[in-house]
Amino acid sequence: MRKKKRGKICLLVIGCLLGILAPRAERAAALIRSEENTIRVFQLVSPGVVNITTTSIGRDFFYNPVPTEGSGSGVIVNKSGHIVTSYHVVQGSSHLEVTLADGSRWQASVVGTSPSNDLAVIKIEAPPQQLKPLRLGSSSSLRVGQKVLAVGNPFGLGQTLTTGTISSLGRDVMISPDVVIEKVIQSDAAINPGNSGGPLINSDGEVIGINTAIFSPTGTSVGISFAIPVDTVRKILPGMVYLWPKLVTWVLAVILLVLLLRWFWRRLQPGYR
């Protein structure tokens, strides 16, 4: 009888311990799943994120040319070598060099810019098999509290991952005295100098924004960063990359100008009423 009682007591103690430890085990398992998602997404997107080194020529006190280097990040968007980045990364640069995730370096040229959206497209002549374009998602259904990841080149340290959540949507941000970008994404993912032009990623590995600026009195991350929504990128990307939209725009502009001059010329004729 005593053995039976001891057995029942042992079973009861084991049951109590299992009841206490089971929720903790579930929480640990949930944490592991979150970590696995972060690792998987980073491995998926990192080959499509590039480091951009810029060189611009300034002048010293005696007007001698002085080269100045800067750095930023970019997102490969197709196998043709087009890369989306921030306009302020390439602004005023005389030389651009792109470093891919495999370490290879390529000279780049600017093919399109949109200063009002702080976006630019550059191009490299790398073999298609070395280019890993990232998927562009949608920013229309984003929600505050959603997990986001940022991959970039902060302080020249390439392929750096930071994580956070969306803090707010629809912000208007002034990035220069004459440029205000509307409806940007605010997140608390750590963004520092060199991250500009890099992607903001969701849990499915899709680009939902292009990191553009931080709010900081010190110039380093304080947990407030901003990204251009990917829907804006989708809207203006064809006009910056492909010749046909530019050609159509120029043709329409020329036609309108000709019609305007013709109307003005007819009004100058003596018999015009």
- Do 50-130 and 147-236 have matching folds? yes
CATH of domain 147-236: 2.40.10.10
CA dist list (Å): 158 to 41, 147, 155, 211: 17, 22, 8, 15
88 part of the active site = yes
150: buried, middle or exposed (CB in 10 Å: 19+, 13-18, 0-12)? buried
CA dist list (Å): 119 to 44, 99, 110, 237: 24, 19, 11, 9
CA distance 123 to 242: 12
According to the model, what pLDDT value does residue 148 have? 95
- Is residue 243 within 8 A of residue 215, CB to CB? The reply is no
What is the domain partition of the chain in residue ranges? Answer: 50-130, 147-236, 242-268
**Torsion from C-alpha of 205, 206, 212, 216, nearest 10 degrees:** -40
Picking from 265, 239, 261, the residue whose alpha carbon sits closest to that of residue 250 is 239
- Is residue 131 within 8 A of residue 46, CB to CB? The reply is no
* CB hemisphere CA count around 244 (13 angstroms): 1
Picking from 134, 110, 123, the residue whose alpha carbon sits closest to that of residue 83 is 123
Give me the catalytic one of 88, 93, 114, 187: 88
CA distance 114 to 127: 27
CB atoms closer than 10 angstroms to residue 223: 14
Give the CATH fold of the 50-130 domain.
Thrombin, subunit H (2.40.10)
216 part of the active site = no
Give me the catalytic one of 71, 86, 196, 221: 196
Give me the catalytic one of 118, 139, 167, 187: 118
CA distance 101 to 251: 40
CA distance 113 to 122: 9
9: tokens are 């007591």
Q: For every one of its 273 residues, what pLDDT tens digit does the chain have, with 9 covering 90 and above? A: 555 555 555 555 555 555 555 555 455 556 688 888 999 999 999 999 999 998 876 665 455 565 667 889 999 999 999 999 999 899 888 899 999 999 999 999 999 999 889 999 999 999 999 999 999 999 988 999 999 999 998 887 878 999 999 999 988 887 677 778 888 999 999 888 888 999 999 999 999 999 987 766 556 666 788 999 999 999 888 877 765 555 556 677 788 888 887 777 777 767 655
